[in-house]
Amino acid sequence: MNFRIVKDKLIANVMLILSISSVSFVFLIGIGLYLRAAPLFEEHTLLSLFRGSNWAPSKNQFGFYPFIMGTLSVTLIAIVVALPLCLLTAIYLTEYAKPGIRKVMLPLMNILAGIPPVIYGVWGIFFVVPIVREYIAPQFMEYSSGYTVLTGGVVLAVMIFPILVSIVSEVLSTIPKELKDASLSLGATKWETIKKVVVKRARPGIVAAMVLAVSRAFGETIAVLMVCGNVPVAPTSVFDGGYPLPALIANNFGEMMSIPLYDSALMFAALLLFVIIFLFNLISRIILNRIEHKYSS
């Protein structure tokens, strides 16, 4: 009798400790990365790290500008490509499509989400790179290898399809039917209702989904690394190669032991990714939780 209750309480304490320590992992990762990156700050200011465009670890030059620009450009391209497509798809699925189409599309998105990054990379090399090299780039310039920020952006765009479509669909389906009926009964067409009522009402959720997708694109490593050239120069056109932060870490880790501060610099790159993605995720999750809460009760 008593044994059961003691057991219950004992297990409760073990689980509490487990829960708290695993939650504190969020902070542990941040602190751990900071401590490893700290030596870099003794010789360089944050501003010089961000603005410097020379990357020569053996000469103690750590300019992150090209990598930051590389990351920003592939992410921006990915969002520009994916957002309109996914918005239209999500609106179609929630407002127009027959249930049968929805039943096919949503599992497809789940499978797409499960495809490993390296497979996206292989696909990028054999499908997107040749298209960019043979068909798109020649319209604008003499020659491009096809390994460009545009290629990286397109591969990333496909990678964020699932997250955008599924979250935006979910958000759109929380819009109360009464609201749509009110607009329809005023003589608006269905499309006008969607444009002026549904999308407007769903805007915070759409923004949150976008922010989540951006942070996914931000941190994606291997697929981008395989297709965007890895040139440590800030890209000036979409047909230039780029070198995003995650690729920088992946390509150089393990080789840096002999060069002072190299290791710290890479950890700084990881810290940078962590902080940005942490904030983005936190904000968008809070928005999404609020939407869910508002409509669930």
Query: 73, 89, 148, 183: which one contacts another protein (CB under 8 A)?
Result: 89
Which residues in the 38-57 window bind another protein by CB under 8 A? none
Partners of 62 in the β-ladder: 55
Q: Minimal CA–CA distance to 257: which of 267, 244, 247?
A: 267
Query: 46, 56, 119, 179: which one contacts another protein (CB under 8 A)?
Result: 119
The CA-atom distances, in angstroms, between 144 and each of 70, 95, 123, 185, 230 are 17, 42, 19, 54, 14
Does 125 sit near another protein (CB under 8 A)?
yes
Q: Do 244 and 152 touch, CB atoms closer than 8 A?
A: yes
Question: Backbone dihedral region of 147: left (phi > 0), alpha (psi from -120 to 50 degrees) or beta?
Answer: beta
Which pair of tokens denotes residue 169? 């669909």
Q: Which is nearer to another protein, 38 or 141 (CB)?
A: 38
Which residues in the 54-83 window bind another protein by CB under 8 A? none
Which pair of tokens denotes residue 186? 């005023």
Q: Which is nearer to another protein, 15 or 56 (CB)?
A: 15
Q: How many residues bind another protein (CB under 8 A)?
A: 86
- The secondary structure element, H or E, covering residue 236 is none
Least Cβ distance, residue 283 to another protein (angstroms): 10
Which residues in the 268-287 window bind another protein by CB under 8 A? 270, 273-274, 277-278, 280-282, 285-286
Which residues in the 198-227 window bind another protein by CB under 8 A? 212, 215-216, 218-222, 226
Q: Which is nearer to another protein, 192 or 237 (CB)?
A: 192
Does 133 sit near another protein (CB under 8 A)?
no
Query: 80, 191, 203, 237: which one contacts another protein (CB under 8 A)?
Result: 191
Which residues in the 236-255 window bind another protein by CB under 8 A? 246, 249-250, 253-254
The CA-atom distances, in angstroms, between 216 and each of 81, 117, 140, 221 are 15, 12, 30, 10
Q: Which is nearer to another protein, 49 or 109 (CB)?
A: 109
How far, in Å, CA of 7 to CA of 173, rounded?
44
